[in-house]
Structure formats: structure tokens, C-alpha cells
Amino acid sequence: MDKEVDPAVLGVINEKRLMGEKRTPVEIIARMGVFDAREKAADLAWLATGDNLNVIATLWAELVNVGAGGRWFYLESLNPQVRIGGGARSAQQAQRAKDRLGLLKRAHDADRGVRVVLQTNRVPVLEMESDKSARVSVRVPDDEEWHIAEWDADRQIALLVRGARGWMPGDADLQAARARAAMPEPAPEADALAGPASPEELHAAAMEHLTKHFAGYGYKAENVTAQGLGWDIEVSDKKGKTLLKIAVKGTKSGMPAFQLTSAERACAKAGDPWRLAVVSDAPGPAAQHKLYRGSEVDSAPGLLPS
């Protein structure tokens, strides 16, 4: 809600509203280069086409903080299972949050900026994921570039900063931002780096992550590991057509490497529909994955010679 937004941030939003032509939320992201914007309007981040700054993310203006020197920053939780304001997300909410984190991590790893859409809600920001009447009130593109100044898996936060690189908010500002977003410090047992100790448990965590991911999109993900086929998951559509055959590898801090079996190597050479899925930080709530075609497996980070 507007009354929750810092006056400096609200001033920029109001100026954009008054000076720019009136556009719907869908039209705004379409103009920024999002393909099929209408179908993706409910997403929380997008990839734009034909743009070096190709990650676009929504930021709730109510949670944008203004630090020393008037610099804006935003704290992003790396736990996709917990709502803003607390409470467990639904499967659909959690999947959208994971997809958003995946795009932000992509921008961070590539050391690229992020284009931002500032938006406000019609209900208090801490209730927007639990109140069914929540709707976007205002959405405007920010002309300034943002960047991900820090990605802290230990504390389960990412720090987004508006403007030139090199500036960081102080500890007091960070603590105030956490309180504003009702974002508690992670409990030690929830640390994404704790995780399973054995390769078997790491693989199981990666399998669970991918199974939930595909199920979230309405696909069937069948575990076929025990059959020794050279892949672990078969993904099929509602008609039973096999879409992907995925060999699954999980990694985490302290266990970043993996090998392919001879059967997996043979399947990689055979090509489609085989894929290698590498799930990073598999045990933690911010697990992310990337798929590799058979011709791309040697470029997968952590792959050891076999």
C-alpha cells in the first residue's frame, strides 16, 4: 500500500505514473521485452529478449529501503517456502519464488545488472501472499539499473542495490530492512549448507527438488533410478508422452563435484530427450537446478572425468 512506501520511493513511482502514458501491468513487462507477457503476468521475474540486462524482477515498493546517501536497497529471502510476512507458501507460490530466485542467481553469477519493476499492492505488504483479495495497485518500470551486491546462502538473503556498484548498507540498515519485511534470521538447522552428509542423501534431495519442480507445472516425474537406465527421472505429459529423461546430480558447499556413469555417458551421446540436471545447494530451501543437453555435459560445473 502507498502509505507503507518510503516517501523517496513513492515520489519516483508517482512521477512515473504522472509523466508516462498509462499502461496495464501486462503492457509494462511486454514493453520491456517479455515474450507472452499476458501468460506470464503473474510471475515474479522474467527473461527479456534481445537485451543484455535480460533479467527483469518485480520489487514490492513497500519493502524498498533507503539507506545512507539516499541509496535504495532491497532484501530478498532465499527461502522460497516462506511467505513475505511469514507462513508457508502454497506449491504454486513456492514454485514462482524458486523460478524468481533462479533468474536472480543467474544475473548474480553472470555479474549482470537487473531491470526492476516497482509495484505496490492494494493490501498491506505483509498480507499480500495470504490475502486472496491482494492485487497489484501500481506497477512502473524503474529507469535505474539494479544489481545483486551480495548472495548470502548462510543467512538466506540476497541484497539488491539500485545504482552504481560499490555501495553497501550498514548493519543497522540491514537489520531494519529484515524487521520491515518480517524476515527472521535463519535457524541453524535451516542453514542451506547443513544438508545431507552422504552422496545418497544429496541425490535424494536433488530428486525431491526436481520432482516437485515438474509436478508444479503439471507434469509427471517418475523415479526410475533403480532400473539403471542411465537416467533417474522420466518426465511425461498428461497423455503419457515422455518429454525428458533426466540424469540427476546434486551438489552443495563442500560437495561440489560429481561423475557420470558409463550408462549416463552413453545416453548423453545418444542425445534427446536425455538431459543432465545439476541441482546446486540441493539440501537447502534455495536449491536451484540447470539442465544440460548431452552435447553440453562437459561444460557442467563440478563434473569430474570418468
Contacts of 31 (CB under 8 A, 6+ apart): 23, 141
Instruction: Name the residue with cell 548472495.
Output: 151
- Domains of the chain in start order, with CATH, are 2-190 (no CATH), 199-299 (3.40.1350.10)
- Apex CA 43: angle with CA 38 and CA 45, to 5°? 115
- Model confidence pLDDT, tens digit, residues 91-112: 888 888 888 898 898 888 888 8
Using CA atoms, how far apart are residues 83 and 92, in angstroms rounded to an integer?
Answer: 12
The average confidence (pLDDT) of the chain is 86
pLDDT for 244 = 96
For 19, list phi and psi in degrees, rounded to 5. -90, -30
Q: What is the mean pLDDT of residues 130-150?
A: 85
Q: Per mean pLDDT, which range of 30-44, 138-152, 159-173, 268-282 is the poorest?
A: 30-44
Confidence of residue 197 (pLDDT cuts 50, 70, 90): low
Q: How confident is the model at residue 189 (pLDDT cuts 50, 70, 90)?
A: very low
Of 12-26, 92-106, 166-180, 198-212, where does mean pLDDT reach its minimum?
A: 12-26
The 10s digit of each residue's pLDDT in 10-66 is 999 998 888 766 677 778 888 887 877 777 777 888 888 764 558 889 999 999 999
Model pLDDT, residue 271: 94
